[in-house]
Amino acid sequence: MLVLKREQPWQAGETITLQARDAQNHQANGQLSVQVYPFDGSAGQEVPEFRLALLPNPLQPDYLDLYVLSDLPRSQAPRLRLQDGQNLEVIQVAPGIWQGSHVRQPGQAGTLGFLALGLDQDRQLLKSSLSFGK
């Protein structure tokens, strides 16, 4: 069992051996490898092949379209988050392109930070971030 506490680094790996046995006492073994990454942007590698882009909407400036663009082979959607940790839903619009959106609250001032996290084909954590101010 791997337990992460606040005072420990939030990045660790663990390999767990699984064993199954049926009624006839036949046995099979397997290994499960788990890698834990922080989701706050403190870890991860920034590469030009994985990036976050914002397309402003001049007609509705409070409606923000965000795109995660990846030139790397991927099997799952990246995670898109606000700076406060709130997850934003993403949908795949084309191979290597995922879209998410965020609506600023009326009268909301200040800068918003966005973070995209993903894994490359070698299961290395990738990140891209950007800030948008009004």
CATH number at residue 66: 2.60.40
Q: Please report which confidence band the pLDDT of residue 12 belongs to, taking 50, 70 and 90 as the band edges.
A: low
* Torsion of Cα atoms, 38 then 89 then 131 then 120, to 10°: 50
Asked if residue 42 is part of any domain, the answer here is no
> Tell me, what DSSP letter sits at residue 71?
-
Provide the mean pLDDT of the chain: 84
- Residue 88's domain spans which residues? 50-133
Res 14: pLDDT: 73
Provide the pLDDT for residue 128. 93
Give the C-alpha separation, 64 to 131, whole Å: 12
Edge to edge, the sheet with strand 125-133 lists: 87-88, 79-82, 111-119, 125-133
Answer whether residue 23 is part of any domain.
Answer: no
Counting every residue written for the chain, the total comes to 134
What's the number of domains the chain is made of? Answer: 1
